[in-house]
């Protein structure tokens, strides 16, 4: 990852306008900042959220609250709890997520 010449700054995530994304069930609320081609998000999944698609995008993802189950296309399942992260490159392993309890994630992609 190459970080462009981003000037030093801070982000108060509560001030970033949310966008809402429906899943098969539940929803995800994204607060997004973009720096060149780097997207940084604070994402909150509602309890019962299940993604409506397989994702091939690479991410570095950190679970801040709740519990998130990520299923890989090969059938492997990984559960994230606060303080646990995962990383995957673009087009390396398709994945999709769901949560029974809800979760808050910090994501860079």
Q: How far apart are CA 15 and CA 77, in angstroms?
A: 34
Calculate what percentage of the chain has a pLDDT beyond 70.
Answer: 98
Averaged pLDDT, 2-11:
85
Averaged pLDDT, 58-68:
97
Residue 3 has pLDDT above 90, yes or no: no
Q: Output the pTM of the full model.
A: 0.91
Residue 109 has pLDDT above 90, yes or no: yes
Domains present along the chain, CATH in parentheses: 18-108 (2.60.120.10)
DSSP 51: -
Q: pLDDT category, 1, cuts 50, 70, 90?
A: low
């Amino acid at each position: 990852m190459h970080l462009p010449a981003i000037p030093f700054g801070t982000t108060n995530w509560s001030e970033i306008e949310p966008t809402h994304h429906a899943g098969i069930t539940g929803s995800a609320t994204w607060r997004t900042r973009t720096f060149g081609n780097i997207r940084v998000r604070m994402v909150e999944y509602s309890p019962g959220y299940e993604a409506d698609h397989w994702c091939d995008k690479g991410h570095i993802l950190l679970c801040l609250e709740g519990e998130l189950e990520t299923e890989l296309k090969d059938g492997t399942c990984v559960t994230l709890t606060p303080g646990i992260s995962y990383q995957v490159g673009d087009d390396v392993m398709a994945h999709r997520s769901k949560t029974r309890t809800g979760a808050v994630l910090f994501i860079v992609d």
